[in-house]
Amino acid sequence: MKYITLNNGIKMPQIGFGTFLIPETKFDATISQAYNLGYRQFDTAWRYHNEKWLADTFKRHGVKREDVFITTKLNADGLYFQDYKYGRHSIFNIRNFKSIHRLIQESFDNLQTDYVDLFLIHWPWPMFLDMWHELEGFYEEGRIRAIGVSNFLIPHLQYLLDNCKIKPAINQFEISPLNTQKELIAFCKSHDIAVEAMSTFSHYRSVEPRKEITENPTILPIARKHGKSIVQVVLRWLYQQDIIVIPKTTNPEFIKQNISIEDFSLDESEMEIIDSLDQGHFLNYIPYGEQQGLPRKYRQWEGFKEWNEMNPKRSLLQILHLKH
């Protein structure tokens, strides 16, 4: 198993296992099979409501804490009554009585652990800088080994870099052959921020695969040449870019296939063929709308300008908020 060394020296398995939307009835069998096949990095989140399931599965199967790398994520939904209302002005988001510190601690309690290997901010909410400073505190106490972000675009990252004590170790975001994210990947690597791919094969709220990727006619000949599936070829395409991958499946055969990508390699022309499929836009969630937490100078990014021109309908409250 290849490891990626994060910017603080922590080593992270490059091939991990995603857990979102795995039903409770299949969770134990799926995770235990993945562990037995060699997966050692497991990706969960407070919002997935399965942190405790993961801890219980490890306990039932005698998995030692030091033998697995656990990633979890901090989510703003836990700070508001009826969850955080995305893209709306703050008057629609009524804070509950829970602190950010307490919400982080809930993940520790759910995971039944004294430390977390990697803790991410799940989304660039307006309060993400406050979240980051709380994570920095846990990191400095030695309770978190590395801290990072998820779904952050270049201006979110730049604002964070300009205002943090501890640089993010990783950015987890959507990457696929149809959304290659070359600009964002290059920015991360130029700042020594590791890259982790998510939502490569399916919508993040669905277990159904995107057939335009899993049955892609351009990738199929490459897969046949190597005697691999299209999914394995795409994972290898990411792997050769030093991108961390966390494929998710409950299919026993696919669990085995997804970790079996180290016995072949793609040549330069094959990598370029897959790169050429890029459509230049997100297939799933759209973080371009998350601008409210950024000072004006960070909102001048060209990507935001294009998004705002294409999505002119905004509430008066949002417009007033963005003027500050």
Q: Which residues are catalytic?
A: 48
How far apart CA 135 and CA 100 sit, in angstroms, is 9
Helices 302-310 and 154-163: angle between axes, nearest 10 degrees: 130
In which element (H, E) is residue 73 found? Answer: strand 69-74
How far apart CA 189 and CA 224 sit, in angstroms, is 32
Q: What is the DSSP letter of 6?
A: P
How far apart CA 250 and CA 31 sit, in angstroms, is 9
Partnered with residue 118 across adjacent β-strands are: 71, 146
260 CB-near residues (< 8 Å, 6+ apart): 232
How far apart CA 134 and CA 258 sit, in angstroms, is 35
Phi, psi at 74, each rounded to 5°: -95, 130
**Among 163, 85, 105, CA closest to 129:** 163
Region of residue 126 (left: phi > 0; alpha: psi -120 to 50; beta: else)? alpha
Measured over the CA atoms of residue 55, residue 61, residue 64 and residue 67, the dihedral's sign is: negative
DSSP characters over 203-259? -TT-SSB-HHHHT-TTTHHHHHHHT--HHHHHHHHHHTTT-EE------HHHHHHHT
